[in-house]
Structure 1
Amino acid sequence: MKSAPPFIPRELLARMFAAAVEAAQPARCLPPFLPAQPRGRTLVIGAGKASAAMARVVEDHWAGPLEGLVVTRYGHAVPCRHIEIVEAAHPVPDSAGTEAARRMLAMLHDLTPDDLVIGLFSGGGSSLLSLPAEGIALHDKQAINRALLKSGANISEMNCVRRHLSAIKGGRLAAACHPARVLNLLISDVPGDQAADIASGPTTTDHTSCADALDIVRRYGIDLPDAARQLLESGAGETIKSNDGRVSGVETHLIATAQHALAAAAAVAQKAGVRSLVLGDRIEGEAREVGKVMAGIALQTHAHHQPVKPPCVLLSGGETTVTVRGQGRGGRNVEFLLSLAVALNGASGIHAVAGDTDGVDGQEERAGAFIGPDTLARALEYGLRPRHSLENNDGHGFFEALDDALITGPTLTNVNDFRAILVL
């Protein structure tokens, strides 16, 4: 008989998630990337769930004058002295974000080569800094966004469409900064850490095309209004490419990524005497299918000590997708966990946590949830039907009823999803 571990599994998983979030905090990762002060003005712009916290860190470490505007999610604002913070909607854009985008573009007039623009962008910026291209109404952009979110398209595909229907994304904001120097400091929430996909790349160049966006729209059956379709079919929505002279002065740094978060969690596990195996920092696919695959790996590990000997933790990051068919309260992390629990079927010695590092899974103010060997048995005691909850995309309802939700509040960072499966 195995002896009890010198830790409580759920508490260890919670500490690992907390370490992953802490590794991506702007106060920890941003200061080393700040440059010397320019001869001219310093202007700070940005968007994302972490952008207000990032702006505060810039202010705290900047000796000279500066000004600017960043847009963050409602409830994620951090007070700043010189940089204006605007709150807007996520994941579907609203008029507050659109007005902020217009004002941000207007601030960039009359910049000189002696000026410095610091771009602070993180996950969520795609909806927070939304300025539809000419001829496209905000309500049309909102409808397209909702359709993309429900379609099962991955984040790279969604952002490709968003960039080509925008007046500010896809490098257009960087081009508007010309001839000033642009320094991008990015917290990545996208698998593969491609800069063009972080907040849909307002200040970075883009290698995708209108034709690519049209292909995605057709593949997922997204209904476009006439103006949006014409923009893509005519090529008028083309984004800024790397050979555009207006972006020759752009410098970009990834200051926090999913890999940083996974490494921090692995260090916590090691300290507790638990081996760690990182399965990948860019896991994508349907959340419920990823849950089945991860269950298979966990069961192999438990039964045969392959690919690693227990006690161990299987770590992964990335961003899964959910094709919404039910009417429940879902999110990709709780969908993954519910699928994982069903596939594990109460297997002993296997516990897990999954959560979005920004503290919000789907549209719920909860990061994710925990599961253990007793999850299904407790669910049946409460009259819950796990498979039905999964089919109804009701992960949040399921885990809330079990009091197994992971609730952190806004973390003020975002390096995508975090998953840890503890095998004892």
Structure 2
Amino acid sequence: MLAEWRQIAINLYDQVVAAGQPDQVVRKALAAGHQEAGQDIRQDIRPESFSAILAVGKAALGMAQAAYAEGVRVAPDRALIIAPAHADSDAGTNPEAASDQHPWPVILSSHPVPDHQSLAAGVKAAALCQSLTADDHLLVLLSGGASALMVNPNPPLTLADKVLLNERLLASGGDIHQINAIRRLVSQIKGGRLAAMAHPAQITQFIISDVEDDELASIGSGIMAGDPVPLSDSLALIKTLGLADYPFMEAFIAHLEGGKLQPPLSPDEAVFDHVKSHILASNRQVVHAGLITSNNMKTATALPPDIIELPRLSGEASHMASHLATLIKSSISSSGGSSGRPVIGITGGETVVSLPSDHGLGGRSQELALAFALAMQDADIPWLILAAGTDGRDGPTDAAGAILDSQMELDILAAQTALLRHDVWNLLNRCGGLFRPGSSGTNLADLVVIMAG
């Protein structure tokens, strides 16, 4: 039974990832059939209308390839593709394979921590936008990961400062909206500043969203969107997230408050009248697709599973895991246990992990899965959990997440210690619990599939 459940969970993950593949969603957007808010966006967007292209994010290569396949023809000196350096061998994620599919220049940079290539990408993106005129139409292909893949810090911050700041932000326990509010504040190109550089050109954004609620200012830290967070709140966040004591942040704040730097643009700036944004895929959409798939599923028990849409992932990974375990146990006792039906719970979103300076190796999905396994130790039922990032990577590791079940022999004390030290990768690697599907070429935040009964 658990072997069957494992395959069901993996199949659901594969189908969710497939629903957000960049080649499909971009080609659909540029072809006649794409509907958004009841309208065919092809009515005002023609592939031949674009005179420049900027693709940035984990799905950048696949999105650019699809745009070219659908007829977008832009000169190489009017194009820039920015993608992560950790790429697999397929054309959707590998620049050498993808170069056969489009003629545009590619910069490979670092994620989740920016590097010198990220800075080069940010400088070149700014130059591209500044070169545009009122006669231009810029196609922006944006996906998750853009905040680190393309940077250009505001002076007096250096790249080294930005790297340290980013590492501290990722370890702070702040959610993505808080983290990206700071990223917008310290950047020359985020918080709508690239849109201002491109003004008065027309800008169309096609977006694969990895952010809860699909807030434009948080996807890629809002390269073409205004900042809804008041400056006073962003400055307060610097203290809340433990960043105020860094000397470079003190210098930055002094520059900002002294009028030497401009804050991010407000969403009501006239610049954004020239920007049209379209969400082509999001975590909520693909989780919904997973629920539909689950409702059509049969198991070897000959009884269809009870499908549960679990609460959205948020907050600390270990706390979320305990909450999910409580809900699953309650569902089994109230329905599954009496009917004999297995239960399938599905959810998505993004948790956080607050890291000390001496943390080990792991990721939020790995921590969630292990904490769930510990919380289920008192449950006298079979269970399985798959928790993984839809991009194929969980934190700075080679795994997308973890897949664990009730038959795995788990050293409770070692698991508790691993969670306390935030060093879960090593334990999961030893027990065979890591889930390694490889890079997916897209990024739609995280997915959790739980089966029990």
TM-score tier by shorter-chain length is over 0.9
Paired AA for residue 138 in structure 1: L
Structure 1 residue 275, shift from structure 2 partner: 3.3
Given that residues 160 and 213 in structure 1 are in contact (C-alpha distance below 8 angstroms), is that contact kept between their aligned partners in structure 2? yes
The match for 2:420 is: 391
Structure 1 residue 38, shift from structure 2 partner: 5.4
Query: Which SS does the other structure have where 1:153 is aligned?
Result: coil
Given that residues 164 and 237 in structure 1 are in contact (C-alpha distance below 8 angstroms), is that contact kept between their aligned partners in structure 2? no
**Distance (whole Å) between structure 1 residues aligned to residue 287 and residue 353 of structure 2:** 23
**Distance (whole Å) between structure 1 residues aligned to residue 289 and residue 8 of structure 2:** 13
**Distance (whole Å) between structure 2 residues aligned to residue 160 and residue 390 of structure 1:** 28
Structure 1 residue 373, shift from structure 2 partner: 1.0
The match for 2:272 is: 247
Query: Which SS does the other structure have where 1:134 is aligned?
Result: coil
The match for 2:407 is: 374
The match for 2:188 is: 167
Higher mean Cα deviation, 361-370 or 244-253?
244-253
Matched, 1:410 2:434: no
The match for 1:187 is: 208
In structure 2, stretches of 5+ residues that fail to align are 31-44, 88-93, 299-304
Q: 1:72 aligns with which of 60, 78, 83?
A: 83
Query: Which SS does the other structure have where 2:307 is aligned?
Result: strand
Paired AA for residue 289 in structure 1: H
Paired AA for residue 163 in structure 2: Q
Given that residues 120 and 186 in structure 1 are in contact (C-alpha distance below 8 angstroms), is that contact kept between their aligned partners in structure 2? yes
**Distance (whole Å) between structure 2 residues aligned to residue 307 and residue 57 of structure 1:** 47
The 3 A distance-change label for structure 1 pair 62 and 137 is same
The match for 1:313 is: 344
Matched, 1:331 2:352: no
Count of aligned residue pairs for this structure pair = 414
Given that residues 47 and 71 in structure 1 are in contact (C-alpha distance below 8 angstroms), is that contact kept between their aligned partners in structure 2? yes
1:130-169 correspondence to structure 2 within 5 Å: 130-169=151-190
Matched, 1:359 2:369: no
Query: Which SS does the other structure have where 2:204 is aligned?
Result: strand
Structure 1 residue 63, shift from structure 2 partner: 5.2
Structure 1 residue 372, shift from structure 2 partner: 0.9
Matched, 1:284 2:314: yes
The match for 2:376 is: 344
The 3 A distance-change label for structure 1 pair 46 and 192 is same
The match for 1:119 is: 140
**Distance (whole Å) between structure 2 residues aligned to residue 109 and residue 153 of structure 1:** 33
Structure 1 residue 109, shift from structure 2 partner: 3.3
**Distance (whole Å) between structure 2 residues aligned to residue 95 and residue 102 of structure 1:** 11
Matched, 1:299 2:320: no
Query: Which SS does the other structure have where 1:72 is aligned?
Result: strand
Structure 1 residue 110, shift from structure 2 partner: 4.0
The match for 1:47 is: 56
Structure 1 residue 271, shift from structure 2 partner: 2.9
TM-score, scaled to structure 2:
0.86
Paired AA for residue 418 in structure 2: S
Higher mean Cα deviation, 323-332 or 350-359?
323-332
The match for 2:9 is: 13
In structure 1, stretches of 5+ residues that fail to align are none
Given that residues 310 and 324 in structure 2 are in contact (C-alpha distance below 8 angstroms), is that contact kept between their aligned partners in structure 1? no
The 3 A distance-change label for structure 1 pair 69 and 147 is same
Paired AA for residue 125 in structure 1: A
Deviation string 1:247-276 (CA, Å, 9 cap, x unpaired) is 211000111101122122223322323332
The 3 A distance-change label for structure 1 pair 343 and 184 is same
Q: 2:448 aligns with which of 410, 419, 424?
A: 419
Query: Which SS does the other structure have where 1:230 is aligned?
Result: helix
**Distance (whole Å) between structure 1 residues aligned to residue 239 and residue 122 of structure 2:** 28
**Distance (whole Å) between structure 2 residues aligned to residue 28 and residue 43 of structure 1:** 21
Query: Which SS does the other structure have where 2:130 is aligned?
Result: coil
**Distance (whole Å) between structure 2 residues aligned to residue 307 and residue 183 of structure 1:** 52
Q: What is the RMSD of the two structures over their aligned residues, measured on CA atoms?
A: 2.1
Given that residues 306 and 336 in structure 2 are in contact (C-alpha distance below 8 angstroms), is that contact kept between their aligned partners in structure 1? no
Query: Which SS does the other structure have where 1:369 is aligned?
Result: strand
Structure 1 residue 304, shift from structure 2 partner: 1.6
Q: 1:22 aligns with which of 18, 22, 29?
A: 18
Query: Which SS does the other structure have where 2:410 is aligned?
Result: helix
**Distance (whole Å) between structure 2 residues aligned to residue 37 and residue 293 of structure 1:** 47
**Distance (whole Å) between structure 2 residues aligned to residue 73 and residue 30 of structure 1:** 19
Structure 1 residue 48, shift from structure 2 partner: 1.0
Given that residues 210 and 237 in structure 1 are in contact (C-alpha distance below 8 angstroms), is that contact kept between their aligned partners in structure 2? no
TM-score, scaled to structure 1:
0.92
Deviation string 1:17-62 (CA, Å, 9 cap, x unpaired) is 11111111011211232321456x5211132111111111111111
Given that residues 210 and 232 in structure 1 are in contact (C-alpha distance below 8 angstroms), is that contact kept between their aligned partners in structure 2? no
**Distance (whole Å) between structure 1 residues aligned to residue 147 and residue 57 of structure 2:** 8
**Distance (whole Å) between structure 2 residues aligned to residue 363 and residue 20 of structure 1:** 22
The 3 A distance-change label for structure 1 pair 231 and 153 is farther
Given that residues 399 and 405 in structure 1 are in contact (C-alpha distance below 8 angstroms), is that contact kept between their aligned partners in structure 2? yes
Paired AA for residue 344 in structure 2: V
Q: 1:31 aligns with which of 12, 27, 33?
A: 27
Structure 1 residue 210, shift from structure 2 partner: 2.6
